[in-house]
Structure 1
Amino acid sequence: MLLDKTVRKNLDGEYIVIHANQLKEGTEYAKHLKIAQIQIRGFLGHENTEFKVDFKEFEKLSDHLKIISLSTIENVANIESIYSLQNLEKIYLEKQKFSIDISNFHKIKHLGSEYWKGLVNFNKAYSLQSLVLTKFPNTNLSELSKLENLKVLHVYTSKIETLDGIENLPLEELALVKNNSLENIEVIKKLKMLKDLLIEKCKKIDDYKSVDEIMDKVNVRIIK
């Protein structure tokens, strides 16, 4: 299969798509372009279960790469080489079979990810300014309490029952979507920097008094 050399655009800028079985050629092309964003997707064509996806190829992109998106990738070798990407500012992840320590990316500003047990130390990535989290298994958000630079938080389809843990964060934007166990949202009135709030299809919430208290200073959207 020929390498797809199409340069595409999204809200983060220009990017190229690299399929897992073309990682070597794709990263060489990304280095040639000095492109700041790549999306890594699954195998193109028939998957070879013996084929190893060698993350050592990422090392050649350490100077320029700022944004990476990883679909679920099988048969990864040299996983630790992803930490050579020390200029990464945005990381988008689907659930993986390997572990990745987010705190090793010292310049990271945004993380968007489905939660799995291998998503390690995202709560210690203290430079994070924006976090989008899906399928988070904890009943509260205390694990996020030390992310003192976090301004944007979106939590989707998670098992949270309360928002405890984020009351002292400098959040300006909070989105809570399809969290069917979420009931207590009292913490919202303690978010002194909040400007935008979205609560969508969180069916257990009955008491919106804390939202009523902030209506005059926060852009609130509630979709039931």
Structure 2
Amino acid sequence: MDVKLELVYSTPKGTTVDFTSDMMRAEKALLIIEDLEKTKRLKHITIIDRYDSTWTIKDLMKHIEGIQTEPHNITVYFDGGYDIQTKKSGIGCAIYYEQNGKTYRLRKNTLIEELESNNEAEYAAFHLALQELELMGVHHLTVTFVGDSQVVINQMNEEWPVYEEELSKWADRLEQKMEQLGIQPEYKLVPRKRNREADQLASQALNHIDITSVMELPN
């Protein structure tokens, strides 16, 4: 979860000043609050999340402690491929997350026959990842989505308009699902070589190689 801090700070001679921070991860915010409290010059602080809800320090600490047993610190890699000759699409996602002090990787792919373009396949891969996040019980967290599709990343972060009707339907579908789950998305566009794992999963799906796996990774 991301929050911002609004605080009143006092100098040793009693001059006060108001500060408002940028959005940051809740864990980082607590570290900053702890450091500021050591100065004994912090007069007041308000913690505000993306939905303009306010939190006490105690409640935020409880929230962070609670999510340690649930998937968190999540990064999703997604990719889709479309075969013009067979009219089939392979889609795949790799989800990296932490839970109970350990790091895991979930991989999933599938073959789809009803799509009509590579861009649709990319959107479908994003949707597959959201379905997996829902099955994992992910909710009310910031999730980083990484892909090599300029169309999907730039349309989802609203840098590019969505003119195609089918892609608009996909974008609406994704936004509705993320709102339902309380997911705060962050988008990252990368070159294809840095999205190799998801690309391979999509290619394997086109070759009728089904993959569903969860693996603990070394820390």
Higher normalized contact order (CA 8 Å, seq sep 6+, divided by chain length) = 2
Q: Which has the higher helix share?
A: 2
In the superposition, the TM-score normalised over structure 1's length comes to: 0.20
Q: Which has the higher strand share?
A: 2
